[in-house]
Every structure is written in C-alpha cells, then in structure tokens.
Amino acid sequence: MTGHGRPEGRFVGKVMVVTGAAQGIGRTVALGAAREGASLVLVDRAEIVHEVRAELEGLGAQALAVTTDLENYSGADSAMAQALDRFGRIDILVNNVGGTIWAKPYAEYREPEIEAEVRRSLFPTLWCCRAVLPAMLKQGGGVIVNVSSVATRGVNRVPYAAATGGVNALTASLAFEYAEHGIRVVGEPNSVLKSYRSRPTTSARSVPARLTAVGPSRDPGRGPGPGRPARVIRPRRGARPRPRCAIPPARSPRTCAP
C-alpha cells in the first residue's frame, strides 16, 4: 500500500491510451500510470510525444507513441488500431484533448472560429470513444475517462462551453448505454487533474482515483457491472414534481409554476 492508502501497481497488466499526452495533464497521467505498471499508448499531434515515450521507457514502462489528428475520426481509428496492434487490448482510455482557443463575446466569433472551438474540444473525445468501443465490447469491459471542464457556464467562451457540455452529455449517455457490458465511463474536470499535475509524479496521487477501478465493479453498492444493469432512478410515490421556474424579467421577483 502507498502512504495514501492505495495499492501499489494498480495498472500492472493494463493497457492505457492517453490522448493529448505530449504535455500537461496528459503527460502527467501517463507518467503516474507508468510508475504503477501500465503499458502506455501516447497519442498527440505534436512530435514531442515521442520524447514522452522515451521518458516512460526510461522508467521501464512499455510505451508506444502515435502522432495523429484526433479532430478527424480516421485519426482516432488509426490510434486505437495501432494500440491493438502493439498490445492486443485497451483497458483504459483517457480522453484529454481540448481547450479554449479564443476568449471573447459570442457576437464577435466568426463561423470558422466557432467550428474550430467545437472541433477541438468535442470531436476528439467523441471520435475516440467511438473508435475504442468495439475493442472494449469484444474483450468484455474497460474504462473510459473523459477529461472535461466545469466551464460549461460563463462568459466569453460560449463555443468552448457548448463543446464541453457535449462531452459531459456524451459521458453520461455512454455510461448508461454500456454499463451492462462492463464498460465504465466517467468524467473528470480538468481543474481536479491540474491539482494532480502540481504534485510529484512519484506519488500514487499523480493519477486520479477514478482511474483506480479498472473493469466492472464487484461491489453492489458501487454501480453497474456484468449482469447488473445501470440503476434507473424513479421519483418517489407521491413526490411533488420539481417546479418549473421561468426566467424573470429585469427587476422583477422570480416566479415559479408548479
């Protein structure tokens, strides 16, 4: 056990694909997972991802670097195919590509800028989830971690907010759709991961706890697994419906209808 109460070698025998792995959060997650026994597939469109591969191999980890553009499905499909070619399976996918390009009032965005923001912060996750699912279904389980953001409401970043809101919706929908197949899909806000990035990667805390549970949960109180579908939350009998609140006009009290 580590000093934080977590087992050493959580990822021994596991294959983890990390996108956006050339720097920042992606690089730090890859380093932490390598130190705990994972075999890594590092995906990025920047050539410096090969330097990260060399760094991981220096730690004794098995690693493959793939340079491709994940904003297109062909890039995501190629990355997963190369991972399967090298290791034969994919246990964990960490989707970590995205980020604001411009920050300004929405009325000032041009059409190509809006498309570029959505293409960067939504499509890599959307495509990679689609590309990895056939392999996880065939092997009977896996974990998908979608790095998102709490910045789905705010000013001067409307296209980015729309894209990350899409990632959050994708995460929830996939979690329900594939729970019965032993595939766990979770989201992690980048604000949490940035706090890990500031810590030494020699610690077990360099990798978020959500990545600890690989494969279906065996604890009936910890969510769905094989033969145990996702629980459907139904309203209590006799419960009053949640009120629908209208958007109030300026300088008027908030009004709600039952």
- Summarised one tens digit per residue, pLDDT across range 16-75 is 999 999 999 999 999 999 999 999 999 999 999 999 999 999 999 999 999 999 999 999
Average pLDDT over residues 119-126: 97
Note the pLDDT of residue 9.
84
Of 124 and 236, the one with more pLDDT: 124
Q: Is 73 an annotated catalytic residue?
A: no
Domain 15-257, CATH homologous superfamily name and number: NAD(P)-binding Rossmann-like Domain (3.40.50.720)
**Residues β-bridged to residue 245:** 256
Note the pLDDT of residue 8.
67
Note the pLDDT of residue 190.
62
Of these residues, 106, 160, 178, 196, which one is catalytic? Answer: 160
Q: Which two tokens stand for residue 70?
A: 């994940």
pLDDT band at 209 (very low <50, low <70, confident <90, very high): very low
Run of H or E residues at 142 = strand 142-148
Taking the C-alpha atoms of residue 45 and residue 94, their distance in angstroms, rounded to an integer, is: 16
**Residues β-bridged to residue 101:** none
Give the start-to-end residue ranges of the domains of the chain. 15-257
Run of H or E residues at 256 = strand 256-257
Task: Work out the percent of the chain whose per-residue pLDDT is above 70.
Answer: 70
Task: Work out the percent of the chain whose per-residue pLDDT is above 90.
Answer: 66
User: Taking the alpha carbons of 213, 215, 219, 220 in that order, is the dihedral positive or negative?
Assistant: positive
Taking the C-alpha atoms of residue 145 and residue 154, their distance in angstroms, rounded to an integer, is: 24
Note the pLDDT of residue 66.
98
Tell me the residue ranges of DSSP E strands in 35-119.
Answer: 39-44, 63-67, 92-95
Q: Order of strands, edge to edge, in the sheet holding 63-67?
A: 63-67, 39-44, 15-19, 92-95, 142-148, 183-189
- Summarised one tens digit per residue, pLDDT across range 150-194 is 878 889 999 999 999 999 999 999 999 999 999 999 998 764 444
Of 200 and 125, the one with more pLDDT: 125
Averaged pLDDT score across all residues of the chain: 79
Q: Is the pLDDT of residue 6 over 60?
A: no
Say which residues have a Cβ less than 8 Å from residue 32's Cβ, sequence separation at least 6.
196, 201, 203, 204, 206, 207
